[in-house]
Amino acid sequence: MPLDMGNVRRLHLVTDVDTDDTPVAVSQPSLEGGADIGLALKAAREFRGLTTQDVADGTRIRQSYIEALEDMRLDDLPSRPFTIGYVRAYAGLLGLDGEAAVARFKTDAPDEGAELRAPVGVRRERDPRLALIFAGGLLVVGAILLWNVAQRAIAKDEPPPQVAPAAASTQVQAHASNSQVALGAPLPAPVESTTPEPYKTPGLDDAAANGGSVDAAHAAAKARETADAKNGVIDPSTQFVLGGSFKPKGAVLGASPTETSGVILQARKAATLVVRGAGGQVYFARALAAGEAYRAPRMAGLTADVSDPAVFEVYGNGVLTGRLQSNQTALDKLIPAAPAAPKPVAAPVAAAKPQ
């Protein structure tokens, strides 16, 4: 796409290698004019009738950089090597000597980071702080030397250490070799090293005896309980007293006391408890240890699914009401009914006294 040159009267695009051979007009401003190189380039541009946008199009330099270079606003320009390249390209576009323009730029804006040489005949003064630091170091070294000398002098004045004669040492060693040490009876093993009693999973024997089936194990346990009842054998663990108050024997999980529905399920033995909502979502699931309890929240549609219903005791408002009867029980049915309000008693009417 051709560039829109606008009102450019004469534009020569040059590179670092190519130079403009067009003779410079006699009245064209030179690089030595102006207060600095930026004003000299600006005067040459205006003499040719070019705008800063024309220079930006010809040199591929941003227009803001061209304007900053003419005003010598070095803080708005990139690093110094790039700026020197911009000066060279700008001067070459105007048909001026690029190296001469760079030389004047370095004169007008010297590199502050370069090392400056001291003028001839000026005496170089040293920093007085270096002398203080050197003197302080000498004092520290002298103090260390004096401390070592003092320690050696003190060690010379101390009495020599008492050393026992060789004959006495020989007698002590002979007595130690002839002496005998009496050992008492061996101590018993500590309690931590004794072997604990192996854990026995409840119902494992019944399951093994019935081919590993859980249902068969439950059936065998019920049959054994029925046989014990006929024979008059009563398992103390199955006995309980209705109306007893709830006594925490472990952690009480579930709802807080202010959000409870009044129902508490306490496990007498280790068992699992899963509480589901009406939609089947699980609200609580845990393997309870013996003594741990679950406090049911005030929520409708909850169902308790337990591994062994006979293990869980049901408390309503802190009072024992019985035990679970099935593996799945709706907790709404276990909520105790509110006590009936007492009926108002009519006040007796006083009989009229005869006059």
Per-residue pLDDT of the chain (355 residues; tens, 9 = 90+): 333 444 444 444 444 434 445 454 456 778 887 788 888 888 888 898 899 999 999 999 999 999 998 898 988 998 899 999 999 998 888 888 889 889 988 888 887 765 544 444 445 566 788 888 999 999 999 999 999 998 888 877 766 666 666 666 666 566 666 656 677 788 776 665 556 667 666 666 766 766 666 676 677 777 777 776 666 555 555 555 677 888 888 899 988 888 888 899 999 999 999 999 988 889 899 999 999 999 989 888 899 999 998 889 999 888 888 888 889 888 888 887 766 556 665 555 555 555 4
Burial (CB count <10 Å: 0-12, 13-18, 19+), residue 144: exposed
Say if CB 285 and CB 250 are below 8 A apart.
Answer: no
pLDDT at 121: 46
Q: How far apart are CA 228 and CA 226, in angstroms?
A: 5
pLDDT at 347: 54
3-state SS string over the chain?
Answer: CCCCCCCCCCCCCCCCCCCCCCCCCCCCCCCCCCCCHHHHHHHHHHHHCCCHHHHHHHHCCCHHHHHHHHCCCHHHCCCHHHHHHHHHHHHHHCCCCHHHHHHHHHHHCCCCCCCCCCCCCCCCCCCHHHHHHHHHHHHHHHHHHHHHHHHHHHHHHCCCCCCCCHHHHHHHHHHHHHCCCCCCCCCCCCHHHCCCCCCCCCCHHHHHHCCCCHHHHHHHHHHHHHHHHHCCCCCHHHCCCCCCECCCCCCEEECCCCCEEEEEEEECCCEEEEEECCCCCEEEEEEECCCCEEEEECCCCCEEEECCHHHEEEEECCEEEEECCCCEEEHHHHCCCCCCCCCCCCCCCCCCCCC
Each domain of the chain, given as residue ranges in start order, spans 1-110, 204-236, 240-334
Prediction pTM value: 0.34
Burial (CB count <10 Å: 0-12, 13-18, 19+), residue 336: middle
Q: How far apart are CA 132 and CA 135, in angstroms?
A: 5
- CATH class, domain 1-110, is mainly alpha
User: What's the CA angle centered on 267, arms 263 and 271, to 5 degrees?
Assistant: 120
Work out the widest C-alpha separation in the chain, in whole angstroms.
Answer: 154
pLDDT at 36: 87
Exposure string of 106-134, with b = 16+ CB inside 10 Å and e = fewer, is: eebbeeeeeeeeeeeeeeeeeeeeeeeee
pLDDT at 238: 56
User: What's the CA angle centered on 336, arms 332 and 337, to 5 degrees?
Assistant: 105
Q: How far apart are CA 285 and CA 124, in angstroms?
A: 87
